[in-house]
Structures are given as C-alpha cells and as structure tokens.
C-alpha cells in the first residue's frame, strides 16, 4: 500500500496511480482514487504541459481525449490518459481560471490534443497558449466570437416563423477585435509552385460530408488540411436535457454501425458512478450483440473497400454474407440497427434459449465465406501492388496522434479496450488481439479480415457458456460523481465522460468517437503519397464523419448569407416528392 493519500485521507492502493503521482511530483494538487482502475489527479494549471509530457514520454500513456467543463472559477480541462497495458485510466485536471480562462496547449507537443483543444475553444471559449493552429474547427465561420454553445448562459436568438432571427444579440460578450479579423478557418494559401486540390465536402468516396484540401507539388501531396462539421445534431447538449435512462436511445444514434458501442461506453461510466455491476447474463448478452455488430461493420467495410478498388466481386460477396448477421441482430433485438437493448444495470430484453441454435447457425455459415473473402484479399497480387506500402502510419506516429482500433493495431500498437479494460464476457472467453506491423492500407484490411474470425469465436463461446440469471439490476438513483467509460467499437475505442450532480440526468456528457482520433493521422499517412492514393488511405481508417461532426450552416459562397432554413429544406423535399409521384 502506498504512503500517498487521496482527498479523503486514505492511502492510495493502486501502484499505478502511486507511480503516476510520484512522477508528477510537486505539480500535484489533489488526488482521488475512484476504484482500482480509475484515478483523478488535479495538477497546477501552469504545469499542465509538463505533466502531459511526463504522461506520454515517461509513463507511456495514451491521450484518449479532453473534456471541458464550465465551473464557477473557469473551465476545468480534463485530460484522460490511458495506461492500456496496466488497465488503468488517469485523468489530469487543470483549471483555466477566469477571467482569461487560459491554459498552456498540450497540442503544441502532442498532436493527439490538437483537434480537441480547438473544439474546447470553439464550444467553451478556453484559450490555449501556444497552440499551433487555433483556427475554427467546429463552429461556422460566421459564428459570433464570444458566444460559446456549451456555456451555461448560452442562448440562440429566437427566430420568427420564416426562420429570420428576431435579434442579433447572442449570449456572451462579443470580441470586436476578433470580429475584425479574417475568418479563422480559411484554408492556407498555397506556396508558389504548389497546387491546391479540393476533395469534398461531397465526394463519391465519402459517404458523408467532409472537406479535405491537398497541397501538391506535381502528383505528390506535401501538405493537407481538413474542415469538419458539416453535420450538426447537438448530441452532447441534448444529452444533458434527458433522463439517465433516455440517453442510451440518443447515443446509439451517434452512429448506426456503433449502435451497441456508444450506449455501452456511456452505461459503463454511469454504472461506475453508481458503483454497480450488471449481472453476468446481461454482460454475455451485451457481448453477443456487440460482436455481431463488429461482424456487420467489418464486412460492410470490406465490401466497400473492394468496391472502391474496382473489385466488385468482393463487394458482392461481403454484403451478401453480411445479411445473416443483420437477420440475427433483428431476431435478437428487434432491429437491424439501433438495438435499444442496453440499459443502466443490464439489458432491456433477454435472448431466449430457443434462439441459440439460430445464432450458432448464422455465425457457422460465415466461416467459409470469411475464408473466401480473406484469401481473396491476402492472395491477390493486384491488391498487393495497389495497397502495400501505401498510406503508411508508423507505430510512433500512431501513438503521437492517439490512433485507435484497427488503425492503431495495423501499425503494431496492441491496444483493445475489450482486453485492456475488461468488461462484458471478454475475460471469460478465448480470443486474440489482431495486430500487423506494416501500418499501410493492406495491413488495415488484414486486421479487419482476421478480426471477423475472432468475433465468430467470441459469439460461439458466449452462446455456449451464457449463464442463467437476471438480465438487469434496478437503479433508482444516480448519485453525484463523474466517471469515464470506454468500449472497443468496430472502428476503435469509443470514449465517454459523464458527470452527475445527483439529478435526473447528466450535467455534462462528453463523447469521443474513434474517427475523431484516427482522421487527423492523415497528416502522417498521406503526406508524401500520390494524389491517387489519398482517398483510399483516408477510406482505410473506415471513417465515420457523423460520429465526428458538431455544427453546420448552409451559406452563399459569395454573400455569406444563409441559403435556407430547416423549413425551406422540408418544403423543397416535399415539392420534389410530389413531382416524382406525378412522373411515376
């Protein structure tokens, strides 16, 4: 037992937390040991950059994300560090105090913090000293400075029935100096001898909106830029207006292919605040549905990858053999996506034993097709020539950018939240974490193909070993507290931070999807590549832009004026439907 004490005066029991606190030394102000796998350390805000260097370089921790939280004295910045091999998460807290609410940027040393600090500036107004690129990331270019959507006093001016704002007064103090500057998110001007090539916001290889800009010398990409936030649903803000039991229905709609992953990460955080554990049978049921979802996600990506490469046979195979998985999801949960099955304390509905043979039959039927598809990928010389050595993300850069999931594992980083932070039935069954060392597009395809076989193994074992018993424990009250929850979604780790004040729902809910960490790694994997290789390199991370987006406005490119309201879009859609009906 350590001699170091937490805020309660009790000695810290975790050797990991004791080591971290010792390494941070005099910069530590307060320590809280939540449980054997979670710790919270408040540090001197003036030394947060130094503390982060120690966490990354000396403690070999991975920065999962940063949560910003408005408090009485300013904005609390929570840096969530994962020590994956030791199954421990440490959160460093540093206050950006009023009135300036400034704090040193961690992003100037660690690229993994770059985007999230920009987001915390946009949404909360925190200022990050020394940040290398503090352009807008989330908000529209014409969003007024001094109006921060996640501040408690924020409000949007009311609009009349036509969509016109009744007043131009927004909450917050507008910064007139910043208003006189050019829009902060404008693309960089190409240097002499370089060509700017735009990809998006709409592109055949992108199923959702995203804007990539390639700066090229001849056919070689020498720099890249990206603009996200073309799709806003306000889920983090909406979550704070719902009850604890309503939130799972909301967060499963963050992404259709992560309908089990986001609710499970959220529920793990809330269960940690409550200090409860779901019954064993519920953990097995969660695992079965989550692995069926992983199969359907990976097979969807394999099919799309074949299509993008002109290998339409693989596309047809993968999507044909994916259908039995979707049928089983519908049979066991009632829906092909948005399963509405996870709840705090367990699951909402059971899988009766008479469906076990149907599940086994479906996954058994996948084994031969998966062998066929995998061999088609692994043995095809054309795919070897097209994908090997393309879009390489080195192990070092994967760590610096905080990459997760197959993107990280294909670069030799052996991380997987299912193993590193045990939950569900993953400790009870036999399976392996698949890694590849090369870091190229081919390696990412190999990882996903081989992970399908591991999912089949997990599902079969869960069906064979599922215990009897209740499927949930009753939760009548969520006490005050805060916690984090994570789950290994098909694309990588999904990470949720939840804070409770003892009320009917969360007062802060931060969601970090895997694409948010994987997408910025293009700075490492695409620069130096040919233009023709960029789109397949971006597609290789299996991007989900709807998971990543926050805010959007449709404006005229010349005048900057809005082109239409939501009602306008509904009216146009209805008019088109009426026209098509007449034509048919």
Render pLDDT for 53-78 as a digit per residue (tens, 0 to 9): 999 999 999 999 999 999 999 999 99
Distance CA 381, CA 37 (A): 46
In a domain, 228, yes or no: no
CA distance 514 to 525: 17
Closest listed residue to residue 30, CA positions, set 58, 53, 9, 50: 9
- Residue 302 belongs to domain with CATH number: 1.10.645.10
Residue 208 lies in a domain: no
Residue 311 makes CB contacts below 8 A (sequence gap 6+) with: 376, 380, 383
Task: Assign 572 a pLDDT band (cuts: 50, 70, 90).
Answer: low
pLDDT band for position 581 (cuts 50, 70, 90): confident
The pTM of the full predicted model, rounded to 2 decimals, is 0.88
Q: Give the pLDDT of residue 182.
A: 46
- Does some domain include residue 125? yes
Please indicate whether residue 549 or residue 149 has the higher confidence score (pLDDT): 149
Residue 50 in tokens? 């130094």
Of 31-40, 335-344, 449-458, which gets the smallest average pLDDT? 335-344
Instruction: Tell me, yes or no, whether 346 lies in a domain.
Output: yes
Q: Tell me, yes or no, whether 247 and 180 share the same domain.
A: no
Cβ proximity of 135 and 160 under 8 Å: no
Q: Which residue has the higher pLDDT, 4 or 319?
A: 319
Identify the pLDDT of residue 580: 67
Domain for residue 307, yes or no? yes
Domain membership flag for residue 201: no
Report which of 582, 487, 482 is spatially closest to residue 67, judged by C-alpha positions. Answer: 482
Task: Name 371's Cβ contacts closer than 8 Å, sequence gap at least 6.
Answer: none
| Residues 265 and 182 reside in one and the same domain | no
Question: Does residue 296 share a domain with residue 403?
Answer: yes
* Residues 18, 144 share a domain: yes
Residue 174 pLDDT: 52
Q: How confident is the model at residue 551 (pLDDT cuts 50, 70, 90)?
A: very low
Question: Does some domain include residue 362?
Answer: yes
Task: State residue 555's pLDDT score.
Answer: 42
Start-to-end CA span in the chain (Å)? 76
Which range (104-108, 216-220, 226-230) has the least confidence? 226-230
Q: What is the pLDDT of residue 96?
A: 96
What rounded mean pLDDT belongs to the chain? 87
DSSP E strands: which ranges in 261-368?
342-343, 346-347
CATH number of the domain residue 60 falls in:
3.30.460.80
Answer with the one of 164, 186, 208 that is the final residue of a domain. 186
Are 180 and 260 in the same domain?
Answer: no
**In a shared domain, residues 181 and 242:** no
Residue 291 has pLDDT above 80, yes or no: yes
Judge whether residue 550 has pLDDT over 90.
Answer: no
Q: What is the DSSP string of 351-419?
A: --GGGHHHHHHHHHHHHHHHHHHHHHHHH-HHHHHHHTTSS---HHHHHHTT--HHHHHTTT----HHH
Q: Are residues 482 and 337 in the same domain?
A: yes
Helices 356-379, 280-308: inter-axial angle, 10-degree rounding? 30
Q: Do 131 and 270 fall into the same domain? A: no
Q: List the structure tokens of 442.
A: 């081919």
Q: What is the mean pLDDT of residues 365-377?
A: 90
Q: Say whether pLDDT at 100 is over 50.
A: yes
- The whole-angstrom separation of Cα 532 and Cα 536 is 8
- At 205 the pLDDT is 64
Q: Which tokens belong to 123? A: 């949404």
- Residue 302: closest CA among 455, 409, 490, 448: 448
- Cα–Cα distance list, 491 to 69, 230, 298, 364, 516 (Å): 27, 21, 9, 24, 11
Query: Is it the case that residue 423 has pLDDT exceeding 50?
Result: yes
- Kindly tell me if the per-residue pLDDT of 206 is higher than 70: no
Nearest-Å Rg of the Cα atoms of the chain is: 24
**Residue 353 domain boundaries:** 235-548
CB atoms within 10 A of CB 170: 18
Residues 182 and 264 reside in one and the same domain: no
Residue 200 lies in a domain: no
Return the percentage of the chain with pLDDT > 70, whole number: 88
CA 114 to chain centre: 15
Residue 44 is encoded by which pair of tokens?
Answer: 């001197």
Largest pairwise CA distance in the chain: 79
109 lies in the same domain as 242: no
Mean pLDDT of 315-319: 89
pLDDT (0 to 100) of residue 193: 81
- pLDDT of 150-193, one tens digit each? 888 777 667 677 766 666 665 554 555 555 444 455 667 778 88
Q: HSE on the CB side for 347, CA within 13 Å? A: 24
Q: Do 246 and 129 reside in the same domain of the chain?
A: no
What mean pLDDT do residues 7-24 have?
A: 89
With left for phi above 0 and alpha for psi between -120 and 50, is residue 222 left, alpha or beta?
alpha
Q: Are residues 255 and 124 in the same domain?
A: no
Structurally, how many domains does the chain consist of?
A: 2
What is the average pLDDT across 20-28?
A: 95
């Amino acid at each position: 037992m350590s001699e170091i004490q937490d805020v309660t005066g009790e000695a810290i029991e975790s050797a990991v937390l004791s080591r971290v606190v010792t390494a941070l030394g005099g910069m530590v102000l307060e320590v809280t040991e939540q449980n054997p796998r979670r710790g919270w350390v408040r540090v001197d805000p003036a030394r947060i950059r130094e503390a982060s260097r120690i966490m990354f370089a000396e403690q070999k921790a991975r920065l999962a994300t940063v949560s910003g939280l408005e408090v009485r004295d300013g904005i609390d910045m929570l840096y969530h560090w994962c020590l994956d091999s030791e199954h421990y998460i440490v959160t460093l807290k540093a206050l950006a105090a009023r009135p300036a609410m400034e704090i040193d940027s961690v992003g100037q040393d660690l690229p993994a913090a770059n985007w999230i600090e920009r987001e915390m500036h946009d949404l909360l107004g925190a200022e990050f000293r020394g940040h290398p690129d503090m352009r807008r990331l989330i908000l529209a270019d014409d969003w007024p400075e001094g109006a921060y959507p996640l501040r408690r006093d924020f409000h949007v001016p009311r609009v009349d029935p036509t969509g016109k704002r009744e007043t131009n007064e927004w909450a917050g103090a507008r910064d007139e100096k910043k208003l006189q500057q050019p829009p902060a998110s404008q693309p960089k001007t190409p240097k002499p001898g370089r060509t700017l090539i735009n990809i998006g916001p709409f592109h055949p290889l992108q199923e959702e909106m995203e804007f990539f800009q390639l700066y090229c010398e001849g056919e070689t990409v020498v720099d890249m830029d990206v603009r996200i936030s073309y799709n806003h649903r306000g889920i983090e803000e909406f979550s704070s207006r719902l009850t604890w039991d309503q939130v799972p229905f909301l967060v499963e709609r963050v992404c259709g292919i992560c309908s089990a992953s986001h609710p499970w990460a959220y529920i793990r955080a809330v269960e940690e605040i409550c200090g409860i554990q779901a019954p064993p049978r519920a953990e097995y049921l969660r695992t079965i549905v989550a692995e069926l979802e992983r199969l359907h996600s990976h097979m969807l990506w394999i099919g799309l990858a074949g299509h993008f490469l002109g290998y339409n046979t693989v596309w047809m195979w993968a999507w044909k053999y994916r259908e039995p998985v979707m049928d089983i999801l519908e049979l066991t949960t009632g829906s092909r996506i948005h399963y509405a099955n996870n709840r705090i304390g367990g699951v909402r509905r059971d899988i009766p034993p008479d469906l076990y043979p149907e599940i086994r039959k479906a996954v058994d039927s996948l084994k031969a097709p998966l062998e066929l598809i995998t061999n088609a990928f692994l043995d095809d010389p054309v795919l070897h020539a097209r994908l090997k050595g393309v879009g390489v993300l080195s192990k070092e850069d994967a760590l610096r950018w905080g990459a997760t999931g197959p993107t990280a594992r294909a670069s030799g980083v052996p991380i997987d939240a299912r193993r590193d932070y045990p939950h569900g039935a993953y400790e009870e069954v036999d399976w392996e974490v698949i890694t590849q060392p090369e870091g190229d597009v081919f390696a990412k395809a190999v990882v996903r193909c081989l992970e399908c076989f591991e999912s089949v193994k997990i599902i079969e074992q869960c069906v064979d070993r599922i215990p009897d018993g209740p499927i949930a424990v009753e939760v009548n009250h969520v006490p005050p507290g805060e916690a984090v929850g994570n789950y290994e979604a098909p694309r990588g780790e999904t990470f949720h931070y939840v804070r409770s004040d003892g009320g009917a729902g969360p007062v802060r809910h931060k969601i970090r999807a895997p694409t948010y960490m994987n997408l910025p790694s293009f700075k490492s994997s695409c620069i130096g590549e040919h233009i023709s290789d960029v789109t397949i390199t971006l597609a290789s991370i299996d991007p989900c832009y709807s998971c990543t987006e926050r805010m959007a406005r449709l404006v005229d490119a010349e005048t900057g004026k809005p082109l239409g309201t939501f009602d306008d879009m509904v009216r146009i859609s209805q008019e088109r439907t009426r026209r098509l009906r007449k034509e048919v």
